[in-house]
Structure 1
């Protein structure tokens, strides 16, 4: 990563692991198997989230460790599946969670650096993965022995610290992870398990396939794969150039104005996705087929979209991939407002019957989303709004593993109203064109 205008990225965070342990639910829980929906099945990969906290004189490192360790042990009672392990069930070879209380990892580390010496927090630094090293997949360790969740506290010389949480995506989507954070923070502040702010609803059978499965819509956004076990996202960095591009609140407002009068739904998210889609179409090689259908993909929360609605406390993955479709020419050179409308139709399409059709399709075909670009948004998940006893996080970000055609949206420090950061990974020539269009196509004030 890097390039003209990019900040230098610190490679060595000068870390030392002070302690490592495995935490279990206490008291021990009865062993059970946990059903995973078709949505969960395709998300068997690790997500690493780093929460940066400023120094708080009332919470020295020993107190933070004690409070968090106790909170994790207690939160594993309502979230028993976090302490379990993945396995394949016998009949269909589907993934399920063996809630066997095998435990979660808990590491404590220290850095010789101050928090303000590790670099710009907004800029995804691959070295930040060391702040969540507890969650690294162990080479040679079978799936059935890999922890599903881990926690790492890293203290800096200034008294600030980072909380790294690694979890397999089968455990949470963005909304249920935020609920988990709120429950964890509540317990760390001395709350009781029987009065959690948002008790988790863990029955994922609500997103089971219908019997018999009924695919009632075409699904051009999906392609078939032979087996759930093959669905694995791995970084492809050999020939990619990475860039963090920024849109200010003023830039987003100007894109909303540009979308008029052709769009009636110029939300911040829709105009940002439309802008990225347009840049992607224009940055492709000049000899592309302009009549080819281009597709942009993004996740939609279906909790309120299916019938009956899922409980807000539903814990698991309740997101499906929506898509916008238009010809390469229409996306790159057509009216911007019409591109925004094509994006908006993706979420509109995701009503109950369409969502059920996607879930049933997964039983018949075991597939995965496909498209020209997938926009993964951490922009408005609100993880930094969670109030821990030592305060709110200064910044929260995932450990970025840039992949071709997957664009990540991050919030700016100070909140969503400040704008959005965009991480893009493309081959160098495509990246150069993408970056040129990214700023060139923004309306001037």
Structure 2
């Protein structure tokens, strides 16, 4: 049964005098994400007003500030095309509508807002209805972003965001959200606290080795040789998925980090040890334990995640660069070592070594990234979305406290967890997990048992 009712479908454009709606080429970082899906995030805010108040007061402020924000982030109103004279050169091209779709919805009276924002297990299908869809336009193009605002009368608001990964990485999507929130909060970008504008200039991404065309050729080769998907088995109903948030406190993180550093030092190993490292290792071990059937058939376990390259390239790329600027990081470890008493420490040391290895050359092996990823996927690697440094809870529209942030798109890639700073404790980390109920119960047991 539907939990929401769609009230309106709005198309928001940049101001009429906007002059930034120009074609922008894709880089080799962008091309790698051309055939992937969107990142989907839900922002839940407290909001103690009626639907009529929201529609008459809050919604106009949200749409006008979104219009101003799209003047800065105009790629969200584009679609992907190629130059007529060069079909191999992909570009972000202005769309016919020059707008972004904003769905306005209202929850039914039986929906418990507090139940949706808890950290306890919840049926994912209830959250899926709050996620905007990237539906093809009448001209056959697929939009790069979509938004949905769902009002829970006198309780809260959920802002759902879907952004195709080819447009930008996680840093770029958060830059957009914080800019939109600032424009809504401050009635424009005149405040000193307003985020700096994004940089769309692709010349800041050097490509002396022709990685664009090498990556494009590799992507096409991977696509052409990929095995066809198995036919769907309609006789087997897939298990319902549940979403939950588990947390590591600052004290627990520091204790894990100290154990990793001490163990590595006793072996004469210099290792990169951060909150991301230990939180990822802890999640990796819990996932291996709760899915000990399929995932541990092999003697080697794999962990795959993306690393921001902006300050690792020469010369460094400005932090406000809007686009993709990520390199994959590959981690392998012996399953027996990961499931041992010191499994978390062994996992963290393996992750730290891989991160430290990037110092030898951030783009080393870039010509084979996609094929390496394709070869690892059948081995069911764990992966991570987000980062403890993301500061997603800093998004402030000034109409209510941000209560919860969920990354629901991790459900589309089994073995993926989300990481963010804690929404309740400075220095803590929230770990988002989406699994069938029985696996989620096992994951939670191993997570809490390990801390005890």
Normalised by the length of structure 1, the TM-score is 0.78
Q: Which residue number in structure 1 is paired with residue 42 of structure 2?
A: 50
Partner of 2:115: helix, strand, or coil?
coil
Classify 1:243/1:156 alpha carbon distance in 2 versus 1 (closer, same or farther; 3 Å).
Answer: closer
Residue of 399, 402, 413 corresponding to 2:423: 413
RMSD: 4.0
* Aligned equivalents of 1:273, 1:346: Cα separation in 2: 13
Residue of 170, 175, 180 corresponding to 2:171: 175
Matches for 1:220-259 after TM superposition, within 5 Å: 225-226=222-223, 238=238, 242=242, 244=244, 246-249=246-249, 250-259=251-260
Q: Which residue number in structure 1 is paired with residue 204 of structure 2?
A: 206
Q: Which residue number in structure 2 is paired with residue 39 of structure 1?
A: 29
Q: Which residue number in structure 1 is paired with residue 59 of structure 2?
A: 65
Question: Are the counterparts in 2 of residues 23 and 106 from structure 1 also a CA contact under 8 Å?
Answer: yes
Question: Are the counterparts in 2 of residues 173 and 317 from structure 1 also a CA contact under 8 Å?
Answer: yes
Question: Are the counterparts in 1 of residues 48 and 153 from structure 2 also a CA contact under 8 Å?
Answer: no
Residue of 312, 333, 353 corresponding to 1:326: 333
Matches for 1:32-431 after TM superposition, within 5 Å: 32-43=22-33, 44-55=36-47, 60-61=53-54, 62-89=56-83, 91=86, 93=88, 95-100=90-95, 102-113=98-109, 116-117=112-113, 119-123=115-119, 125-132=124-131, 135-138=132-135, 144-158=140-154, 160-188=156-184, 189-192=186-189, 197-207=195-205, 209-213=207-211, 225-226=222-223, 238=238, 242=242, 244=244, 246-249=246-249, 250-263=251-264, 265-282=272-289, 283-285=291-293, 292-333=299-340, 335-336=342-343, 337-351=345-359, 354-361=361-368, 370=376, 372-402=381-411, 403-415=413-425, 417-425=427-435
Partner of 2:66: helix, strand, or coil?
helix
Q: How far did 1:116 drift?
A: 4.9
Q: Which residue number in structure 2 is paired with residue 18 of structure 1?
A: 7
Question: Are the counterparts in 2 of residues 407 and 424 from structure 1 also a CA contact under 8 Å?
Answer: yes
* Aligned equivalents of 1:272, 1:349: Cα separation in 2: 19
Q: How far did 1:105 drift?
A: 0.8
Q: Which residue number in structure 1 is paired with residue 267 of structure 2?
A: none
Question: Are the counterparts in 2 of residues 293 and 328 from structure 1 also a CA contact under 8 Å?
Answer: yes
Question: Are the counterparts in 2 of residues 244 and 422 from structure 1 also a CA contact under 8 Å?
Answer: yes
Partner of 1:330: helix, strand, or coil?
helix
* Aligned equivalents of 1:416, 1:176: Cα separation in 2: 23
| Structure 2: segments with no counterpart, 5+ residues | 214-218, 265-270
Classify 1:152/1:230 alpha carbon distance in 2 versus 1 (closer, same or farther; 3 Å).
Answer: farther
| Structure 1: segments with no counterpart, 5+ residues | 1-10, 216-221
Q: Which residue number in structure 2 is paired with residue 5 of structure 1?
A: none
- Identify, as 1 or 2, the structure richer in helix: 2
Corresponding residue pairs, total: 416
Q: How far did 1:202 drift?
A: 0.8
Q: Which residue number in structure 2 is paired with residue 218 of structure 1?
A: none
Normalised by the length of structure 2, the TM-score is 0.77
* Aligned equivalents of 1:301, 1:182: Cα separation in 2: 19
